[in-house]
Structure 1
Amino acid sequence: METSLYLTLLISGFYTPSSCLHQYHLITNNMNWTDAQSYCRAHYTDLATVDDMEDQNRLITSVSSSNYWFWIGLKKGDSTKWHWSLADRRFYREGETEFRNWDTGTPQNGNCVLMSPAGLWNNASCDDQHHFICYDGKQDTNLTYVLIQENRTWIYAQSYCRQHHTDLVSVRNQTENTEIKKKISLRGLPVWIGLFLDSWRWSDHSDSSFRNWWTGRPSTEQRYNCTLVSDNTYFKWINYPCDYNCSFICYEALQLKRQVVRVKMTQRDQHLNLRDPAVQDAIVQELRNKLKEQGLPADTKVTWKKQPDGEVFHKEEEGSPKKEEEEKKMKKSMMTKREL
């Protein structure tokens, strides 16, 4: 793919709220889950919500020197919902978390999802063992989809992908489904993907799909409806009766800011489909690399902002008033620099 930046980033000049950073607070008083929830809501924001691995690592840092069991805000609810293991909301555009490619007659029984060599999805018991596909979003690798040819349970596959790559693969659209199908079709075996079904809900009513269960959890025993974490389980989670008294972790929501920027681009390859999510992701990666060269912090997130009509890119017509105005500004800026 060949693209070139016609102009460098044009900063819009204002900032808008983006998302919340969770600052965690360890409370060593022993309370049951309901009382812990009330305490956190009175003194902070709520019992701890964990949105992603970055949150998980911050939570570990806040409690790593203490040998306790801690309540967090995850509790079993009354209804089930499909989620992706990769919970970072910035990874998904509107509607992409809802993409499905079920085979005929599915889903039926089973809380974890396999993709067949034909690219169709089936659900199965999470304890079954299959090969699996990891997604790798790291900037230092050219591999996006990594096929692991070992028969493992879904939970093991999730842990492996998070440790060695980014997470079990999410399939956001038909283009990605086709790419992954090509990756596995020659093997002739189904693979785990990151979709799973559960009924667990966060105390603050957020829709985070992040889970980090210990092997064999969550238990299906009745009354084991609340979630504990401890360094005894390497900070993996277990479910336990909610009336158990123990320490807990609250969180305080700190508002993050985002900077809105505009990018004008010249398209060298006129056959390039700028509406293709894969092409848009590739351009974002290229922008991220260029910004890193200019000193952008490595952990800064760069994503597209859709226009009101749902599109990311708009073709600018020659001679448009907006274009002429921007060109005049550029010329004026260049003249000012020469005068200085």
Structure 2
Amino acid sequence: METLWYLTLLISGFYTPSSCLHQYHFITNYMTWTDAQSYCREKYTDLATVDDMEDLNRLITSVSSYNWIWIGLNMGDSMKWHWSLADRRFYREGETEFRNWDTATPQNGGCAFMSTAGLWNNASCDDQHHFICYDGKQDTNLTYILIQENKTWIDAQSYCRQNHTDLVSVRNQTENTEIHQKISLRGLPVWIGLFQDSWIWSDQSDSSFRNWWSGWPSTDQAYNCTLVSSDPNQSYYSKWINIPCDNILPFICYVPAVETTTVPLPTPTITIMTTTSPPTPEKPQLKRQVVRVKMTPKDQNLNISDPAVQDAILKEIRNKLKEQGLPADPKVTWKKQPDGKVFHKEEEGSPKKEEEEEKKMKRMMTKREL
């Protein structure tokens, strides 16, 4: 029997956005990388930072068709291991740091592969191996896809991004074992998504996202700054190369743009009341839940009455509900209070008022179900 869920949310307090996309601004002035950095910091936030493929696509479509344009990635001083899949939401605490190196490794070489023993080694990224892609798309049941073609690490990364999601990240021992089982009978090592570099973003972002053109980055010590191509007629469209920073080229600046938001829903602050109507031949079973959430203000200037902000909150709540195993399309709506508002700032004595409002709502819903 089909069950439909209708959730009415009464949320008091304030909503605070916790993540931003980048809003890009293409500057046609020709400058060195350092002068472009100063210009962006003076008039915007900084030279462009790119967090993932979605960010890169937005950057490319926001500019005209140019062969090469400065972005904010430049050579740093220290080497660090990163995962190719840069989406922070993909990793729980500590998972980006999981390693399963073989004895006496890592040594020389900027890219990691898994041996048939399930242990990791590193080698030159120009070596060629089979590789494992990760596919996080909802329309496939395959998570790890073994590609039995010899490619360099960069070419393997490009293949995975074009056909799946990215080169595989290995977040824990369980995943390491699963991937090991997939390759153990093949008798050949495979590239995984771990790589090492010293490149850093101008705004000091820790984004590990890279999209180098095949054969790049150059190891020339003078080639310290990064370009992206926005010319769709070229084979290197959207790819990155590095050249000396004193070249004079156009560039892309960014400012933060609130596009997506996250609503924290801590369990101790949520009260849920549920009533269930008996099923009938004509009507499916209905469940209504009233959820009241108390939030602590962080941004006093946010207009919580803005319909766009309220819609963004609902979107994130739906995502949270899906993560908790609720139906794929839960019906989530705001419940306006008697004065027509959704949100009220908590005042002294308000807990008692809230309890009275909850009792009133429960009585109303009980009558409605009857």
* TM-score (normalised: structure 2): 0.72
1:250 pairs with 2:249? no
What residue in structure 1 maps to residue 292 of structure 2? none
1:219 pairs with 2:218? yes
Question: What is the CA-CA distance between 1:188 and the residue it aligns to?
Answer: 1.6
Unaligned 5+ runs, structure 2: 273-318, 333-355
Letter of the structure 2 residue corresponding to residue 287 of structure 1:
E
Question: SS of 1:258's equivalent?
Answer: coil
Question: Distance between the aligned counterparts of 1:285 and 1:112, measured in 2?
Answer: 38
Pairwise mapping of residues 200-219 of structure 1 onto structure 2 (< 5 A)? 200-219=199-218
Question: SS of 1:206's equivalent?
Answer: coil
Q: 1:30 to 1:161 in 2, by over 3 A?
A: same
Is the 2:50–2:209 Cα contact (8 Å) retained in structure 1? yes
What residue in structure 2 maps to residue 182 of structure 1? 181
Letter of the structure 1 residue corresponding to residue 58 of structure 2:
R
What are the superposed Cα offsets for residues 36-92 of structure 1, whole Å, 9 maximum, x if unpaired?
0000001111000000001000011012x3224210000011111000000011111
What are the superposed Cα offsets for residues 186-241 of structure 1, whole Å, 9 maximum, x if unpaired?
11211100000001000000100000000110011121110011124211000011
Is the 1:11–1:261 Cα contact (8 Å) retained in structure 2? no
Q: 1:244 to 1:141 in 2, by over 3 A?
A: same
1:293 pairs with 2:329? yes
Question: What is the CA-CA distance between 1:295 and the residue it aligns to?
Answer: 6.7
Letter of the structure 2 residue corresponding to residue 258 of structure 1:
T
What residue in structure 2 maps to residue 28 of structure 1? 28
Is the 1:10–1:262 Cα contact (8 Å) retained in structure 2? no
What residue in structure 2 maps to residue 50 of structure 1? 50
Question: Distance between the aligned counterparts of 1:91 and 1:69, measured in 2?
Answer: 31
Is the 1:9–1:262 Cα contact (8 Å) retained in structure 2? no
Pairwise mapping of residues 226-237 of structure 1 onto structure 2 (< 5 A)? 226-230=225-229, 231=231, 232=234, 233-237=236-240
1:337 pairs with 2:341? no
What residue in structure 1 maps to residue 314 of structure 2? none
Question: Distance between the aligned counterparts of 2:360 and 2:181, measured in 1?
Answer: 52
What residue in structure 2 maps to residue 74 of structure 1? 73
Pairwise mapping of residues 104-143 of structure 1 onto structure 2 (< 5 A)? 104-143=103-142
Letter of the structure 2 residue corresponding to residue 240 of structure 1:
I
Is the 1:12–1:262 Cα contact (8 Å) retained in structure 2? no
What residue in structure 1 maps to residue 336 of structure 2? none
Question: SS of 1:261's equivalent?
Answer: coil
Question: Distance between the aligned counterparts of 2:266 and 2:359, measured in 1?
Answer: 18
Is the 1:71–1:248 Cα contact (8 Å) retained in structure 2? yes
Question: What is the CA-CA distance between 1:18 and the residue it aligns to?
Answer: 1.6
Question: Distance between the aligned counterparts of 2:114 and 2:19, measured in 1?
Answer: 33
Question: SS of 2:130's equivalent?
Answer: strand
Q: 1:173 to 1:10 in 2, by over 3 A?
A: farther
What residue in structure 2 maps to residue 88 of structure 1? 87
1:238 pairs with 2:241? yes
Question: Distance between the aligned counterparts of 1:11 and 1:206, measured in 2?
Answer: 36
Question: Distance between the aligned counterparts of 1:261 and 1:9, measured in 2?
Answer: 15
What residue in structure 1 maps to residue 345 of structure 2? none
- Equivalent pairs counted in the alignment come to 290
Question: SS of 2:80's equivalent?
Answer: strand
What residue in structure 1 maps to residue 294 of structure 2? none
Question: SS of 1:251's equivalent?
Answer: strand
Is the 1:12–1:260 Cα contact (8 Å) retained in structure 2? no
Question: Distance between the aligned counterparts of 1:118 and 1:197, measured in 2?
Answer: 22
Question: What is the CA-CA distance between 1:292 and the residue it aligns to?
Answer: 4.4
Is the 2:96–2:171 Cα contact (8 Å) retained in structure 1? yes
Question: SS of 2:58's equivalent?
Answer: helix
Is the 1:15–1:258 Cα contact (8 Å) retained in structure 2? no
Question: SS of 1:259's equivalent?
Answer: coil
What are the superposed Cα offsets for residues 273-299 of structure 1, whole Å, 9 maximum, x if unpaired?
xxxxxxxxxx98953885642379xxx
Q: 1:250 to 1:106 in 2, by over 3 A?
A: same
Is the 2:7–2:331 Cα contact (8 Å) retained in structure 1? no
Question: SS of 1:156's equivalent?
Answer: helix
Letter of the structure 2 residue corresponding to residue 335 of structure 1:
R
Question: Distance between the aligned counterparts of 1:287 and 1:239, measured in 2?
Answer: 40
Question: Distance between the aligned counterparts of 2:245 and 2:128, measured in 1?
Answer: 31
Could you tell me the percent identity over the aligned residues?
A: 71
Question: Distance between the aligned counterparts of 2:57 and 2:331, measured in 1?
Answer: 25
Question: What is the CA-CA distance between 1:15 and the residue it aligns to?
Answer: 2.6
What residue in structure 2 maps to residue 156 of structure 1? 155
Question: Distance between the aligned counterparts of 1:32 and 1:250, measured in 2?
Answer: 14
Is the 1:11–1:262 Cα contact (8 Å) retained in structure 2? no
Letter of the structure 2 residue corresponding to residue 106 of structure 1:
T
Pair member with larger Rg: 2
What are the superposed Cα offsets for residues 247-266 of structure 1, whole Å, 9 maximum, x if unpaired?
0000111234212236799x
